[in-house]
Amino acid sequence: MTKNDPSRLDGKLAIVTGGGSGIGAATAHIFAQAGATVLVTGRRLEPLKTVADAIGGHAITCDVSQQDQVDAMFDEALRITGRVDVVLNNAGGPGPIAAVADVDMAEWVACMNVNLVGAMHVLQAAAKIMGAQKSGSIINMSSLMGIQGYPMRSAYVASKFALIGITETMARELGPLGVRVNALMPGAVSGENMDRILAKRAAAEGLPVEEIERQNYTDVAALKRWVTPEEVGRAALYYACDLSSAITGDKMKVDCGRF
């Protein structure tokens, strides 16, 4: 490490929501390796503690769909260093997998309450703290499905499209205060979450998992493979650190070339 290395996060406090597994856990590790003090949050304490213990960070349970829990989580973050420098707004779920005509609306609304309303709870708290500090980087976890519709995934698509618009809105609102807001758009990321989605799609469409995987995820990517959680985490680090100090209101695909 060289002094004033713009790729480092030394002395900074980073919050990672949905930090117990997948992209969140991978990013927490990468942020910690870059020097950040990391607070991982999510609904289940055991996996959060596993991540936090491995990186010398902090863990706190938080259901982002509950405003009071989000406020308490940010209060805890401020007690650690007195600042919040980076927020990876990553908590979310895949939502129901069904055609619009058939989707269970209770499940549809539940997805929006986490992926969109929950994301807004985090963004409101982060905006107030970082705006007062006049510094900070917010990274919203959208998706490749935040810029293109996808069959059977209307709730998830709607939530991730909305996050792109909110990202651009907040970048304009907070830019004069020195706060940057950007969005990541991963493609299909390998891991347990994608395994569950493949199984649900196979059941809904009556096709083998391998055929759905090949036709919809790997063969259509220029690199002919899945994205790894660590690859998304490295993109998050770019937005978090000063390598991207002049970038805000941006959206970055991390998708192995699915265009």
Q: Which residues are catalytic?
A: 156
Asked whether 183 and 139 are in contact (CB, 8 A), the reply is yes
Phi-psi region of 206 (alpha: psi -120 to 50; beta: other; left: phi over 0): left
Length of the chain, in residues: 259
Nearest in space to 47 (alpha carbons), one of 75, 14, 25: 25
Amino acid (1-letter code) at residue 98: A
What the block records as the tokens of 175 is 């830019």
- Looking up tokens 């395994």 gives 195
Determine how many CB atoms are found less than 10 A away from the CB of residue 163.
26
DSSP secondary structure letters along 144-178: GGGTS--TTBHHHHHHHHHHHHHHHHHHHHHGGGT
**Full DSSP string of 188-217:** -B-SHHHHHHHHHHHHHHT--HHHHHIIII
C-beta atoms surrounding 134 within 10 Å: 11
